A and B are shown apart, each in its own frame.
Chain A
């Protein structure tokens, strides 16, 4: 079976000479459709760097990255934008919602860039917010929401364009344990429905909910195991 994500010998080097930092060091990784992967590792080990490359937000210094069999590591900016728009959903630690903008408008955002008409945008955004349990917060501003609620808006936004994969970089990093629990439950449910999820986390507890745990150190995979 062809892997959804196939990263071959990926390296990412920042800076030059004395500032040279090898963030990823010839990393190989395959993720199949329907997986729920947790990426763990110490601070500075290259987790976020890896996620940015897998999420087409950044390009590797060397190596090849195939997404659904297509080589994407050397695409131009406009093609990458299109892939991010149609095939990838992001969830960030800091939520990254547009300030002073209603939940529903925040969720609609990716659809604006894929030419979906206003009416359908609203319908789809509302459905997604309902799916994450926020049907009563459609018109709330981020400042009127709790951290957990903001992260659920962000998840709805990541889901709204039906991506192939969702990348989450420490999605529970800014949340208390109860809210974290809720977010993880949402991810588990989405995964049961067949969605592919790649999640970076510091917390053992959170990582334990995934089906596969990959540990990274110094830009290399040091362990890769399936959970029971």
Chain B
């Protein structure tokens, strides 16, 4: 019997036994759909993170206090914060030819109040250049200037969420809010920036660095953002920062992270996550495969008389083997295609929330897995079926 006849035969058998075929394909469909969907979610997360980092600009270096390890084995810094304003200022004075900007950052949690309303929010003290270099703009009013900073003016710019929560329908610009019970005048409301990993970044209040320093009385900065002339000078800039910091600090007192380093370590965490998601999906595919093999085994028992009859009228063992094998392959390819389609649609549906993408390798993985599972779990029962003695099969009750 040639392959075309075998395929026709298998297709007929599939059509005649609809329920069995659907159940078999279902195992594959669920497995492949979950592989494609979970991988697309993982990819979406990576895309999202890379995108967020790109917004910050690729030519940034972060200086953090203590020894920070980023990556799967990372943990919180143990040592106390030794990066003071003096150090940040020295770095600014000795920034050399490759660094364009040194931007220390103070960050803390405060309670903001206005006319009896109050809300816990994140306070960030930054230089006025922060807005331009991060591409953040005011939707109402204005952002603070360098002069506000040098004069330590008690002005703030607030995020959209905070504005809505405190002021309801009132106009925030020109009003005075209380931060840690001290009055500050609102000069602007920021354009909405949305969510980042479940954290509302529109719930924040920004003020000039020197103002923030006065408010907190702190002598340390939470981080220093260093911008370089271009991505090419990254290594030279990093060496410069290191040189200046090492003059007063030891290696354990600070960590220098480049944009790339941060991104690649976060992406590596995400790729582990994607693999884990894929692994879960693979398990469901194997479970589906076991289901297929079960149904195939049951169907062999069910169809033993059929096999006996086919043999009685002249089917050779290899004809029976071929039919069962092709049945398994057709069902798994069919299930694989439907599974990929469902995975795609699911990924499309999610793309409203996350920039999901289905990479080619996920599709290939899905196809490869489903056909492997189909063939492996199709072979065992098919071999069993082909070996049955015609008489034994015919007499089967």
Please give the residue numbers on chain A whose beta carbons come within 8 Å of chain B beta carbons, in ascending order. 52, 55, 57-58, 77-78, 81-82, 84-86, 90, 92, 96, 98-101, 105, 109-110, 112-115, 118, 157, 161
- The verdict on A96 contacting B309 (CB below 8 Å), with A52-B391, A58-B391, A101-B16 known, is yes
- The verdict on A86 contacting B391 (CB below 8 Å), with A96-B305, A96-B309, A115-B2 known, is no
For chain B, the bracket of interface size reads 20 to 34
30 contacts between A and B (CB under 8 A): A52-B391, A58-B390, A58-B391, A78-B318, A81-B314, A81-B315, A82-B316, A84-B311, A84-B312, A84-B313, A84-B314, A85-B314, A90-B312, A96-B308, A96-B309, A96-B312, A98-B306, A101-B12, A101-B16, A105-B12, A109-B310, A112-B1, A112-B9, A113-B1, A113-B310, A113-B314, A113-B315, A115-B2, A115-B5, A157-B313
Q: With a CB–CB cut-off of 8 A, which chain B residues contact A52?
A: 391
Q: With a CB–CB cut-off of 8 A, which chain A residues contact B391?
A: 52, 57-58
Contact A92 B1 (CB under 8 A): no
Contact A115 B309 (CB under 8 A): no
Q: With a CB–CB cut-off of 8 A, which chain B residues contact A161?
A: 314
Give the Cβ gap from B319 to chain A, nearest Cβ, in Å: 6
Interface flags for B1-29 (1: CB within 8 Å of A; 0: not) read: 11001001100100011000000000000
List 20 additional A-B contacts (Cβ < 8 Å) besides A90-B313, A98-B306, A112-B9.
A52-B391, A55-B312, A57-B311, A57-B394, A77-B316, A81-B316, A82-B316, A84-B313, A84-B390, A85-B314, A85-B315, A90-B312, A96-B309, A96-B312, A109-B313, A113-B313, A113-B314, A114-B314, A115-B1, A161-B314
Q: Is B44 positioned at the interface, with any CB of A under 8 Å from its CB?
A: no
Residue among B313, B315, B318 with max Cβ neighbours from chain A (10 Å): B313
Q: With a CB–CB cut-off of 8 A, which chain B residues contact A110?
A: 313-314
Give the Cβ gap from B181 to chain A, nearest Cβ, in Å: 82
Give the Cβ gap from B7 to chain A, nearest Cβ, in Å: 12
Interface flags for B307-330 (1: CB within 8 Å of A; 0: not) read: 011111111111100000000000
Q: Which residue of B lies closest to A106 (CB)?
A: B309
Q: Which residue of B lies closest to A158 (CB)?
A: B313
Q: Which 3 A-B pairs have the closest CB atoms?
A: A85-B314, A113-B314, A110-B313
Contact A112 B312 (CB under 8 A): no
- The count of A-to-B residue pairs whose CB atoms sit within 8 angstroms is 70
Q: Which residue of B lies closest to A85 (CB)?
A: B314
Interface flags for B212-256 (1: CB within 8 Å of A; 0: not) read: 000000000000000000000000000000000000000000000
Contact A86 B314 (CB under 8 A): yes
Q: Which residue of A lies closest to B312 (CB)?
A: A90
Q: Which residue of A lies closest to B306 (CB)?
A: A98
Q: With a CB–CB cut-off of 8 A, which chain B residues contact A78?
A: 316-318
Q: With a CB–CB cut-off of 8 A, which chain A residues contact B316?
A: 77-78, 81-82, 113
**What CA separation (Å) do A112 and B311 show in the bound complex?**
12
Contact B1 A98 (CB under 8 A): no
Q: With a CB–CB cut-off of 8 A, which chain B residues contact A96?
A: 305, 308-309, 312, 394
- The verdict on A92 contacting B313 (CB below 8 Å), with A105-B12, A112-B9 known, is no
